[in-house]
Structure 1
Amino acid sequence: MYEGSAVPGRLCASREMLRDLMTVLGTGGLAIAALLPGLLAAVDQHAAEVRDALGDGRAAPSTVALAGYAEGFIHAAEETGWDLPEPIDWVHADWRALRLLAVCALAADGREL
């Protein structure tokens, strides 16, 4: 059947959203994190917090849950006046950029992209 209770259109839209996020920051950010142990550790910590927020902390979140989390997170951050900096200096990135990079890492681990 479908992932959780997601209808096919919602699952497609969620995958598209995560692919877009990966294009904007995930691909480059995860490549840099692979070279910088401190950055990778920060991303891993944020990923654990996302897993905890979306479930029991052990299982990988669903595609729909990850996309919904990212959309809500971006919306809330933008309401505070935050914009994703371009280009992103990953060595000095703020926690919001790291949290979104963690969403990308979880999506990539789940091969949802």
Structure 2
Amino acid sequence: MDLSDIARKLGLSQHKMLIRKAAELRRLCYVQFDSSIIGVGEVCKTVICLEIAATRFGEVIFERQKAVKLSGKLEKAYIKSFNSLQNGLNIKTALDIKELGI
């Protein structure tokens, strides 16, 4: 599946900069490490790259439940793969007051 097809299924096809950022993150995955070692398939990797790009942009609403369903993994496995991929790419998430208070 192509990145633009997955973005369309997630309702993100109108955000061109987000798709470009996700494509860049996916290329970094290929260059920096072999994602098959951590058990992430191509579709799941693309979905996770789209989620990372969406959270970095901030103004885009990303539906994780739809992403988990599209990735073909259970939610726990998806979160584990998400964290592994994020750590492998050396991407840090900024926490805000709401997330710290919960």
Q: Same fold (TM over 0.5)?
A: no
Q: TM-score, normalised by structure 1?
A: 0.26
What is the TM-score with the length of structure 2 in the denominator? 0.28
Rg larger for: 1
Higher helix share: 1
